[in-house]
Amino acid sequence: MDFFTLIQVLDATVRLAIPLLLACLAGLFSERAGIFDIGLEGKMLAAAFFSAAIASMTGSVWIGLLAGIGASLFLSGIHGLASITFRGNQLISGVAINFLAAGMTVLIAQSWFSQGGRTPSLTGAARFNPINFPGALTTTNEVKAASPLMQVYSELLSGHSLLVYVALLLVPLSWWALYRTRFGLRLRAVGENPAAVDTAGVSVVGLRYAAVAICGILCGIAGAYLSTALQAGFVKDMSAGRGFIALAALIFAKWRPWHALYATFLFGLFQALELRPDVIESVIGIKIQSQFLGALPYIMTVVILAGFVGKAIPPRAGGEPYVKER
């Protein structure tokens, strides 16, 4: 394997890790506040569809993004209503959201566009297009011939869509918000011991809704990224289990923002390698089934959960509706 191939694989890692990262951070805010959310997948899917559909209708990817976030927020609202206000089972609510999104997106897509559950292909301003850094080379042949440093600059750092850079900025921002602000302190507290927050005179319900809303916004961006940046349009089930891999990454990261970055990039690398079986074969000399790579994030999560690599302790009040008691 030459250096350029490595750079290409890493470049694909970045592109594939970004939706995982956004969904993982979404789950992080929600679960840190004590609301388990297995509906990340469904929210991403709904956002992917609505952002592509609205972008295709209006021709503006920004309006599409807003529509995607709106759709995801709507589903978050349902989850919040079920699990915070009505104190229902958070897992069941999440499963319901996943099914709802899987079915509704295809149904609405067929009814609006009659293209077999797809949206029309997006072009021009209806997509998030790559941003090329100044001086970066753009064609593959030029990059291949350039110096290693230039290859890193042009292929790996430059040429991603705006959402990639936004997602990466969200990592330090999330860390800062969680650990350096009043909101973060309260958010973490409400996931650990809501009674402590309640007796301190702060609204548990308000904090949890805020967390669920942030989760909705981030899932919305993740979904929009899938259909308007990574791909050019919506196809059926395009989230392809990313919401679940993000949850696995969240456990792997032990609910910490920087570790979420590392975990999702590791899982992104597996996905990138899944697409390039030739690369693995040339490095380790044996052929590995791509399905194995696809399963690797889950296997690693089971290993983590079994406690082989330190202990992954979820927020203590996670999954429990808060009922006031003396």
Partner 1 sequence: MSTAEPAIELKGISKAFGPVQANKDISIRVMPGTIHGIIGENGAGKSTLMSILYGFYKADKGEIFISGKKTEIPDSQAAISAGIGMVFQHFKLVENFTVLENIILGAEDGWLLKPSLAKARKSLIDLAAEYELNVDPDALIEEIGVGMQQRVEILKALYRQADILILDEPTGVLTPSEADQLFRILGRLREEGKTIILITHKLREIMETTDTVSVMRRGEMTATVKTADTSPEELAELMVGRKVLLRVDKKPPQVGEVVLNVENLRVVDEQGVERLKSISLNVRAGEILGIAGVAGNGQSELLEVLGGYADGTGTVTLNGETIDLTGKHSDGKSRRARGIAHVPEDRQREGLIMDYTAWENTAFGYHHDPAYQSGILINNAAIRKDTEEKMERFDVRPPNPRLTAKNFSGGNQQKIVLAREIERNPDLLLIGQPTRGVDIGAIEFIHKQIVALRDQGKAILLVSVELEEILSLADRVAVMFDGNIMGERAVGDTDEKELGLLMAGVET
- C-beta separation of 192 from 317 below 8 A: yes
Residue 189 in contact with partner 1, rule: CB under 8 A: yes
Total Cβ atoms within 10 A of residue 123: 12
Task: Choose the binding region for partner 1 from 29-37, 114-122, 187-195, 216-224 (rule: CB under 8 A).
Answer: 187-195
Residues 11-40 that bind partner 1 (CB under 8 A): none
In sign, the C-alpha dihedral spanning 253, 257, 262, 266 is: positive
Residue 155-184 contact track with partner 1, rule CB under 8 A, x = bound: ------------------------xxxxxx
Closest contact distance (angstroms) between CB of 186 and partner 1 is 7
Distances (CA, A) of 271 to 9, 143, 221: 10, 24, 20
With respect to partner 1, which residue has the nearer C-beta, 66 or 196? 196
* Per rule CB under 8 A, count of chain residues that contact partner 1: 23
Residue 213 in contact with partner 1, rule: CB under 8 A: no
Residue 202 in contact with partner 1, rule: CB under 8 A: yes
Residue 306 carries which DSSP code?
T
Closest contact distance (angstroms) between CB of 89 and partner 1 is 18
Residues 236-265 that bind partner 1 (CB under 8 A): none
With respect to partner 1, which residue has the nearer C-beta, 192 or 237? 192
Residue 316 in contact with partner 1, rule: CB under 8 A: yes
Task: Choose the binding region for partner 1 from 19-27, 148-156, 197-205, 214-222 (rule: CB under 8 A).
Answer: 197-205
d(CA 8, CA 192): 42
Distances (CA, A) of 199 to 80, 130, 196, 205: 22, 50, 5, 13
d(CA 228, CA 122): 7
With respect to partner 1, which residue has the nearer C-beta, 74 or 183? 183
Helix axes 257-275, 277-284, angle to 10 degrees: 90
Residue 195 in contact with partner 1, rule: CB under 8 A: yes
Q: Tell which residue, 164, 143, 163, 144, has the closest CA to residue 154.
A: 143
Q: Of residues 124, 201, 285, 307, which one binds partner 1 by CB under 8 A?
A: 201
By three-state DSSP, how is residue 282 classified? helix
Closest contact distance (angstroms) between CB of 191 and partner 1 is 9
Q: Of residues 95, 198, 205, 320, which one binds partner 1 by CB under 8 A?
A: 198
Closest contact distance (angstroms) between CB of 239 and partner 1 is 33
By three-state DSSP, how is residue 59 classified? coil
Residue 307 in contact with partner 1, rule: CB under 8 A: no
By three-state DSSP, how is residue 307 classified? coil
Backbone angles phi, psi at 160, to 5 degrees: -100, 165
Closest contact distance (angstroms) between CB of 206 and partner 1 is 12
End-to-end CA distance of the chain: 65
Distances (CA, A) of 261 to 54, 248, 275: 30, 13, 21
Binding-site ranges for partner 1 (CB under 8 A): 179-186, 188-189, 192-193, 195-202, 316, 324, 326
